[in-house]
Amino acid sequence: MNQHAKLRIGHSACPHDCPSTCALEVELLDNNRIGRVHGAKANSYTSGVVCAKVARYADRVHHPDRLLKPLVRAGAKGEGAWREAS
């Protein structure tokens, strides 16, 4: 038997600094991850739609190359050497 977990939806506001201030519905996955992001259907402005930047928000948040801690250059400019900021 194929069983699927019930989809959990969280409500949020767009983090981008544009005048639209979109209301969002975010799929909440296991392990503190997010899935797809949609405009809130009940919001008159978004009506279930968001811009392309926000629609791909989960890809950016969970990208393996995303910096999770601030870094400080460790070496001459252009060497590409970094250390964690204390």
Is the pTM higher than 0.95? The answer reads no
Instruction: Sketch the domain layout of the chain as residue ranges.
Output: 8-84
What is the fold, at CATH topology level, of the domain defined by 8-84? Phosphorylase Kinase; domain 1 (3.30.200)
Q: What token pair was written down for 41?
A: 């259907």
Cα–Cα distances (Å) from 6 to 9, 12, 24, 26, in that order, read 10, 19, 19, 14
pLDDT tens for each residue of the chain, 86 residues long:
445 667 899 999 998 888 888 999 999 998 889 999 999 999 888 899 999 999 999 999 999 999 999 999 999 999 999 999 98
Query: Which residue in this structure is represented by tokens 């791909």?
Result: 56
